[in-house]
Amino acid sequence: MNEKGNLFIVSAPSGTGKTTVVRALLKKMRGVTRSISVTTRPPRKGEKKKNDYCFISETSFKNKVRKGEFLEWAKNFGHYYGTPKKTVYATLKMSKDVILTIDVKGAAQVKRKKPDSVTIFIVPPSPRALVRRLKKRSTDGSKEIKERLKIAKKEMSFARKYDYLIVNDKIKEAVEKLKAVITAKRCKVDKNRNR
């Protein structure tokens, strides 16, 4: 497959602000788009179909898994999440960069399949800030928040496996850093080309 765009994988514990940072970046940078994941999780208040996620049933999701329609998929907090392969490859082929905002399990699957993808891990400035943000989002009950914090601890231990680490303290600064990573990749010389 002749892909010309770059693939970026952004992971962060739920509530860190990766969606906020990536959305702000997309407003500032041309030639880059975000992959819309497919999920069996019910939509949160304010989430829009095909803008945030493509919401489907568990049966449809499992059918897609069987048909090999996902670049990667994983189960989080009792729901399935997956990246549609066809859309991602079609976008890369058009020389557009693609950002996947996915969890650490999915990131590992993609990095194995596409070693030239760039992985970025976003962390909150402190555990307390993460709790504040999860509460601020007010989409999860206290039981869900506890579960997300437990998983967050586990996910943080994967941070060192990523190519870049960004602390999301001030949104503006985190966006600038993500922008710098994308720019650097675009300027990188591909030593394997024409070999």
- Selected range binding ligand ADP among 9-17, 26-34, 102-110, 151-159, rule: CB under 6 A: 9-17
d(CA 101, CA 178): 13
CB of 70 to ligand ADP, least distance (A): 20
What are the phi and psi torsion angles at 7 (to 5°)?
-110, 125
Q: Which 3 state secondary structure label does DSSP give 98?
A: strand
Closest CA to 26 of 106, 99, 121, 128: 99
Cβ–Cβ < 8 Å for 27, 139: no
Minimal CB distance residue for ligand 5GP? 106
Q: Considering the rule CB under 6 A, would residue 109 count as an interface residue with ligand ADP?
A: no
CB of 186 to ligand 5GP, least distance (A): 24
Binding site for ligand 5GP (CB under 6 A): 14, 37, 41, 72, 74, 76, 81-83, 101-103, 105-106
* CA 108 to the chain's CA centroid: 12
d(CA 42, CA 15): 17
Cβ–Cβ < 8 Å for 11, 120: yes
Q: Considering the rule CB under 6 A, would residue 11 count as an interface residue with ligand ADP?
A: no
Q: Considering the rule CB under 6 A, would residue 20 count as an interface residue with ligand ADP?
A: yes
Out of ligand ADP, ligand 5GP, none, what residue 81 binds, judged by CB under 5 to 8 A for its kind, is ligand 5GP
- Which one, 96 or 105, has the nearer CB to ligand 5GP? 105
Residues 127-186 that bind ligand ADP (CB under 6 A): 133, 136-137, 168, 170-171
Closest CA to 17 of 142, 121, 141: 121
Out of ligand ADP, ligand 5GP, none, what residue 106 binds, judged by CB under 5 to 8 A for its kind, is ligand 5GP
CB of 75 to ligand 5GP, least distance (A): 9
Size of the site for ligand ADP (CB under 6 A): 14
d(CA 54, CA 40): 9
